[in-house]
Amino acid sequence: MQLSTLTVHQLSELMAQKEISSVELTNAYLERISKVEEKIQAFITITKEEALAQAQAIDKKRMQGEELSPLAGIPMAVSDNICTEGIKTTCASNILYNYLPPADATVVARLKQAGSVLIGKTNLDEFAMGSSTEYSALFKTKNPFALQAVPGGSNGGAAAAVAAGETAFALGSDTAGDIRQPAAFCGVVGFKPTYGHVPRTGLVSYASSLDQIGPLARDITDLALILNAICGHDSKDSTSATVEVPDFQGSLVNDVRGLKIGLPKEYFKAEIAPPVAAKIQEAIRQLEDLGAVCLEVSLPHTEYAVMAHYTISCAEASSNLARYDGVRYGLRVEAEDVTSMFAKTRGQGFGPEAKKRILLGTRVLSKECYDKYYTQALKARVLNKQDFDRVWAQVDCLLTPATLTTAFKIGDKENDSLAMYLSNYCAIPANLAGLPALVLPFGLVDGMPVGLQLIGNHFTEQTLLRVGYTLERNTDQTCLRPALA
């Protein structure tokens, strides 16, 4: 039995029946990492000693008969822009090369309380700015389905680690599809919850009004278990929602009869690759055969979403990243005076993509450009949200492609910023509106995964899980394994 191919709930059952221990499971994942990590390069930091100590503590509790969470003893990975107490959190940037957070992010603390075992921190585009994990200051992560292809971004390391069997599940952050696009490219499931449903305390900010933490895993049941643990109000986070957290596992019903699923025509008119479009149509027919009603809807301001998103996110990044000046923590490059020290520290500490976005954000917030660009982007954001508000009167959720293509080759878009930004065309509108969105794999095209996206109204995560779960139970297209796994 290859433990690294099993889901969280399967592993949980094996430990509950005492067929395996958490230490055995953790060692199995560490061994798996030692075999494939050189090829994949998903991890920035591997926490072997800490993981084995946590696993031993869980095994002791289990032997004493304590009641444990389904996540107890399960190895997890966390993107390196989510703080972990005493463990380096670099954001894949030279400017935070030595940063040791004084406390865990709320999501990490909640998962540790549930008994999850932190096995390592995963690679990402610097400060989560990118769509391919090629903008990491450290190294480029590879796609487990084809080592010459990107894993997506910015959380490509987390998605690749799950796909390659290096961890049972992972956490990442989603600002512009940064969980969902890598999930689609790597053939795993990824979830961006409603903005505010999962606390952002301890997430290193890129664009505060857009960032949202979410899970990547192997199936929908695993997502439900993880969401049960990480959702809920946090008094330390001013953007944290105070809504009651439902039992997400209870929404896993194999039935979509009567559900109305919208098909936004703007997503299908985009430059979607024909083989990807064919796979999405196959999923639509599958849902209709299972009793769902699929109907075309319109989100007319979708075409402005990418421009609005990057204007807003760069403006917020300009403000958030101003703290990295060589004074308080992280990199400091000594110079003859304070101004020179600021300039040299930022010049050597930030990579080219981060510098580009900081400069763009500073420009659009300037007196000359504020109304011309930033204000217009905010208006486009409102129009985008109003589009979604109108369709919820007609449908229960939306179905779209997750990406316009399958994973592209490393280097293909690295020097073409516009093409890189447009690779998140289908994901960005949900971030602008703060909506929950789920991506699950749906078959292969030329050996590479295709991703299907479901978008719901605020706090309707249960509907998305229900649709995804039904697809899982009625097709073999959602369970993909790379040859490497």
pLDDT tens-digit map of 151-169: 999 999 999 999 999 999 9
Q: Is 285 exposed, middle or buried (0-12, 13-18, 19+ CB in 10 A)?
A: exposed
Characterize the bridge pairing of strands 437-445 and 448-456: antiparallel
* Distance, CA of 210 to chain centre: 13
Instruction: Report the alpha-carbon distance of residue 119 to residue 78 in Å, rounded.
Output: 8
Beta bridge mates, 84: 87
- The predicted-structure confidence for 383-426, as pLDDT tens digits, reads as follows 999 999 999 999 999 999 999 999 999 999 988 888 888 899 99
- Report the distance separating Cα 324 and Cα 17, nearest Å: 49
- List Cα–Cα distances, 217 to 76, 98, 164, 352, 480, in angstroms: 10, 29, 11, 31, 12
Which pLDDT does position 421 carry in this prediction? 87
Average pLDDT over residues 118-127: 98
Q: Enumerate helices (H) and strands (E) in the chain, giving the number of each.
A: 16, 11
- Distance (Å, whole) CA 208 – CA 147: 33
pLDDT tens-digit readout, 321-363? 999 998 888 899 999 999 999 999 999 999 999 999 999 999 9
pLDDT of residue 416: 83
Q: Are 5 and 485 in contact (CB under 8 A)?
A: yes
- For residue 442, give the 3-state DSSP assignment: strand
Residue type, 252: L
Give the contacts of 265 (CB within 8 A, at least 6 positions apart). Answer: 296, 297, 298
CATH class, domain 1-485, is alpha beta
Does the pLDDT value for residue 484 go beyond 80? Answer: no
Rounded percentage of the chain residues whose pLDDT exceeds 70: 100
Q: How confident is the model over 205-248, as pLDDT tens digits?
A: 999 999 999 999 999 999 999 999 999 999 999 999 999 999 99
Is the pLDDT at 314 greater than 70? The verdict is yes
The CA–CA distances, whole Å, from 462 to 98, 120, 228, 253, 261 equal 40, 29, 11, 10, 14
Find the Cα–Cα–Cα–Cα dihedral 79, 83, 86, 89, rounded to 10°.
50
Q: State which amino acid sits at residue 317.
A: A
Residue 116 makes CB contacts below 8 A (sequence gap 6+) with 71, 72, 73, 74, 75, 76, 229
Task: Tell me: pLDDT of 144 over 70.
Answer: yes
CA distance 328 to 319: 16
Q: How many residues does the chain have?
A: 485
Q: What pLDDT shows up at residue 485?
A: 55
- In the chain, the N- to C-terminal Cα span, in Å, equals 13
SS3 177: coil
What residue segments make up the domains of the chain, in order of their start?
1-485
